Amino acid sequence: MTALATDPRRPGIARPAVLVYRDVRKLYGAFVALNGVSMAVHKGEVVCLIGPSGSGKSTLLRCTNALETINGGEILFDGAALPADETAARHVRRRMGMVFQNFELFPHKTALENVAIGPLTVLRARPADAAAKAQALLDKVGLASKAASYPANLSGGQQQRVAIARALAMEPEVMLFDEPTSALDPETIGEVLSVMKILAEEGMTMVVVTHEMTFARRVADWVVVFEEGAIIEQGPPEQIFEAPRVERTRSFLSHLGWAG
C-alpha cells in the first residue's frame, strides 16, 4: 500500500528523493482533505497525480510549497522538513516552481515582465540580466515574439506557457503543475503539453496534477491515484492504465472514457 522509495519498478529509484511525504494530513475545519498520504518524488521523475475532483491532489501540491500548512505527518524537501516559519518557507518556495490552473499571470505586466519578475524581485538580479534570461525562456516556450504583449492579448495556451517560463526563471529544482490544462480550450492544450514534455525530457523533476490521461500515460514515470484524500494505488503508468490492481482505479478510468 505505502510504496515509498523502495518499489523496484520505479525507474527513478536509484536517484535521491527530492520530495518525501509521510502520512500527510490536512483538514479544512471538519473536512478531511488529506488522510495520511505517503509517497515520494525522485530527482528527474515526472510524477502524475490523478483522481476525481476533490480527492486531495491539488491540496497536496499546495502543501508542498507551503501555500497551505499541513495538520499532521511531514513533508521533506531535499531531506529537510518544510519550515513552518513564513520567512524560511519563502526560501523553499524559490526552489520550487508552480504553475496554476488559472495561469495567474500579472495582468498589469507584459509577458517579458511577468517572466522577469521573479529574478528581479526575489533574486535581486540586474534588470538587463533578468530581461535577457526572460527573453531566452520565452523563446524556449515558443513565445519570443509575444514578449511585449499583455496577458489580456494572449490566448489561454499562450498565457500558460508564459506562466511556465515565469516559474522556470527561478531555476527551480522541482516544478509543480496544478491542473495546467484544465482551464484551456481543447485547441491550445497541445501546445502546453508539448512544453511540459520538453521539460520532462530535459530531466526536470515534475509533479503534475492532471486529467490529461494520454499525457500521463506517455510522459509520466510514476502515477499516483487519489480518492477522498488518500492514495488508492500508485505505480508505473503501464500498470495504472493497462492493468490497475484496484477496482476503484479501474472505474475512475472508465468513467473518464479511458479505453486503454
Partner 1 sequence: MTYDWSVIWQYRAAFADGTAMTFLLAVLTMAIAVPGGIVLALLRLSRSSAIAGASTALVEFFRNLPLILLVYWAFYVMPMVIEIELSPFATGLTALALNVTAYNSETFRAGINSIRRGQTEAALALGMSRAQAMRVVVFPQAWRRVLPVLASTWVSLFKDTSLVSVIAVGELAHVAMEIRSQTFRVLEVLTAMGALYWLLGYPQAKLADWIHRKFGVTE
Contact mark string toward partner 1, 129..158, x via CB under 8 A: ------------------------------
User: Could you give the count of Cα atoms lying within 13 Å of 124 in the half-sphere of its Cβ?
Assistant: 0
Q: Shortest approach of partner 1 to residue 128 CB, angstroms?
A: 19
Side chain identity at residue 134, one-letter code: A
**CB burial string 6-22: b at 16+ within 10 A, e below:** eeeebebeeeebbbbbb
User: Does 87 contact partner 1 by CB under 8 A?
Assistant: yes
Neighbour-count burial of 122, counting CB atoms closer than 10 A to its CB (0-12 exposed, 13-18 middle, 19+ buried): middle
Q: Of 105 and 232, which has the nearer Cβ to partner 1?
A: 105
User: Does 218 contact partner 1 by CB under 8 A?
Assistant: no
Asked if 62 and 157 count as a contact pair (C-beta separation under 8 A), the reply is: no
User: Does 167 contact partner 1 by CB under 8 A?
Assistant: yes
Alpha carbon distance 103, 254 (integer Å)? 29
User: Does 67 contact partner 1 by CB under 8 A?
Assistant: yes
User: Does 77 contact partner 1 by CB under 8 A?
Assistant: no
Q: Which of 60, 70, 75, 98 binds partner 1 (CB under 8 A)?
A: 98
Which part of the chain contacts partner 1 (CB under 8 A), choosing from 85-93, 208-216, 235-243, 251-259? Answer: 85-93
User: Does 121 contact partner 1 by CB under 8 A?
Assistant: yes
